[in-house]
Structure 1
Amino acid sequence: MTSSLKIAVTSQNFKTVTNHAGRARRFLVYGVETGAAPVEIDRFDLPKEMCIHELGGADVPHPLDGVDVLISNSFGAGFARNMTRRGVIASLTEESDPLRAIEDYQAHGQRLPEKTCTSGHHHNHEHGH
């Protein structure tokens, strides 16, 4: 039995993985079958008002709702939570090549932004507050 995923990659130039996923309007979409190379199956070139940052809540339909995973060079914890509410796994990569970014996700799983302490003090402890 084969497993398949739909993986979107932020790509403002339709060539490389780009950052600022919340403001991204262009995405490469790949079909990924177990044991096979990813195949580009779609491209999203969305108007500004359809970027996740502008759209707001998860109750407004979005083309990314149809993907399983979204990969980008950068996004914040709020974006990751928003995508989770949409049923999409958001994952970071340091790769610039979309295919390598997908391979990285397959090998290492979801990568989220580092937690940042906003308690207004300097410290060297875990972010348990």
Structure 2
Amino acid sequence: MKIGVTSQNFKTITGHAGKTRRFLIYSQDERGNIIEIERLYLPKAMSMHEFRGDRHPIDEFDILITAGCGDGFSRRMASRGVKVVTTSEVDPKVAVSLLLAGVSLPPAQPHEHG
């Protein structure tokens, strides 16, 4: 399972998922430990807000954790087979750990799209 986390600074979970260009990517090793397997840094034209092609690197994620996104982004990701989870948790590894443990993440702050 690949879990992507929006992180413009590669340290904390950030919002505006449709415009995000930096992602931390996590998985589990054979013992179930959470490991960062990759960092994705996309050019502006590859942000989901700008992208209009068929295949995108985010399509490889099973789940995307973000601090905020609009309903349209969530629907678009669902149509691409990616489940979006929003949260107010700021630590990427904590969020991934909670998610994999089946614990609900703290809810995200309301997202205004304008």
Structure with the bigger percentage of helix: 1
Aligned residue pairs total 110
**AA aligned opposite 1:104:** L
After TM superposition, give the deviation of residue 101 of structure 1 in Å: 1.1
The unaligned stretches of length 5 or more in structure 1 are 116-129
**Structure 1 position 83 matched with structure 2 position 74:** no
**Structure 1 position 99 matched with structure 2 position 90:** no
In the alignment, is the contact (CA less than 8 A) between 1:22 and 1:53 conserved in 2?
yes
Give TM-score, length-normalised by structure 2: 0.84
CA separation of 1:114/1:11 partners in 2, compared to 1, >3 Å: closer, same or farther?
closer
Within 5 Å, give how 1:21-36 maps onto structure 2: 21-32=17-28, 36=32
The unaligned stretches of length 5 or more in structure 2 are none
Superposed CA deviations along residues 65-101 of structure 1, whole A, max 9, x for unmatched, are 1110000000011101000011000111111100111
Q: Equivalent residue for 1:120? A: none
CA separation of 1:82/1:31 partners in 2, compared to 1, >3 Å: closer, same or farther?
same
**Structure 1 position 17 matched with structure 2 position 13:** yes
Within 5 Å, give how 1:1-129 maps onto structure 2: 5-32=1-28, 36-56=32-52, 60-106=54-100, 107-108=102-103
Q: What percent of counterpart residues are identical?
A: 43
SS at match of 2:18: helix
Q: In the aligned structure 2, how far is the partner of 1:71 from the partner of 1:12?
A: 13
Q: In the aligned structure 1, how far is the partner of 2:15 from the partner of 2:30?
A: 27
In the alignment, is the contact (CA less than 8 A) between 1:76 and 1:113 conserved in 2?
no
Larger relative contact order, structure 1 or 2 (CA cutoff 8 Å, min sep 6): 2
SS at match of 1:108: coil
Please list every run of at least 4 consecutive aligned residues from structure 1 whose deviation after the TM superposition is greater than 4 angstroms: 109-115
CA RMSD of aligned residues (A): 2.6
Give TM-score, length-normalised by structure 1: 0.75
